[in-house]
Amino acid sequence: MLVKPVFFALDGKTLQEFNFYLDKLKGEIYGVKVGLELFISEGPSVIEQLKKKGWIVFLDLKLHDITNTVKEATISASNLGVDYLTIHIASGSEALIEANKSKKGDLKILGVSSALTSKTMGKDLQAKVSSEFLLASKCKIDGVICPPSELEKASQQFKLLVTPGIRFENESSNDQKNVTTPKNAIERGSTFLVMGRSIRNNLNYFLNEFEL
Q: How far is CA 168 from CA 12, 23, 193, 211, in A?
A: 21, 22, 12, 11
Which of 137, 185, 157, 144 lies closest to 60, judged by CA? 144
Residue 62 annotated to the active site? yes
- Half-sphere exposure at residue 79, Cβ-oriented, CA atoms within 13 angstroms: 9
Going from the C-alpha of 154 to that of each of 60, 132, 175, the distances in angstroms are: 20, 11, 24
Query: Which residue type, as a one-letter code, is found at position 103?
Result: K
Q: How far is CA 102 from CA 75, 99, 106, 163, in A?
A: 6, 5, 12, 25
Which residue is catalytic, options 33, 62, 71, 103? 62
Burial grade of 24 (CB within 10 A; 0-12, 13-18, 19 or more): middle
Identity of residue 150:
E
Three-class SS of 102-132: HCCCCCEEEEECCCCCCCCCCHHHHHHHHHH
Can you tell me the distance from the alpha carbon of 147 to that of 97, in angstroms, rounded to the nearest whole number? Answer: 23
Residue positions annotated with a catalytic role: 62
